Structure 1
């Protein structure tokens, strides 16, 4: 199972996207699980993840978050367009592509 952690300011705006990602994965027969937490909860969650995706509103924290996870897994920002459109397919594809590169 691939585990995708989404981070944003409070974890609420990414929560809806996570639900859509999990629905999409189930429909496609993909073995993934996505969940969302606020940025302040990163340290208690990243050890369970294969990738950390940031909401576009905190994309500027990417380098800081890479350091906070000790460069142990990929960290990337979700496109503002995909985020705004709740494009679960595109975000799942982004995550799987980055996981497979590592």
Structure 2
């Protein structure tokens, strides 16, 4: 199962998107589980994730987050349009594509 960690300022704005992503995964028989935390809790949780998706409101922290996880896990930005529209399928597909790219490396 792919573990997708969503992070934002407080973990709340990604919470709804996270729930929708899990619904899409279940409906489409995709072996993935999304969960959300605030950015401040990253160090205590990232090791159980296969990919980290960063909310648009903190996308300026992408490089910092990559450094904080020692580039061990792919880190991607959630597209602001997909985020705003709660396009869970697009965000899920993007997250899974990042794990596929790392597996191919």
> Shorter-chain TM-score: what band?
over 0.9
Equivalent position of 1:12 in the other structure: 12
Provide the TM-score with structure 1 as the length reference: 0.99
Say whether 1:62 aligns with 2:75.
Answer: no
What is the CA–CA distance in structure 2 between the aligned matches of 1:45 and 1:87, rounded to whole Å? 25
Q: CA RMSD in A?
A: 0.3
Structure 1 residue 64, shift from structure 2 partner = 0.2
List runs of 5+ in structure 2 lacking aligned partners.
Answer: none
Structure 1 residue 73, shift from structure 2 partner = 0.7
Equivalent position of 1:31 in the other structure: 31
What is the CA–CA distance in structure 1 between the aligned matches of 2:37 and 2:98, rounded to whole Å? 20
Structure 1 residue 87, shift from structure 2 partner = 0.3
What is the CA–CA distance in structure 2 between the aligned matches of 1:82 and 1:45, rounded to whole Å? 24
What is the CA–CA distance in structure 1 between the aligned matches of 2:90 and 2:84, rounded to whole Å? 12
Provide the TM-score with structure 2 as the length reference: 0.96
4+ runs deviating over 3 angstroms: none
Equivalent position of 1:46 in the other structure: 46
Equivalent position of 2:101 in the other structure: 101
Structure 1 residue 63, shift from structure 2 partner = 0.2
Structure 1 residue 58, shift from structure 2 partner = 0.3
List runs of 5+ in structure 1 lacking aligned partners.
Answer: none
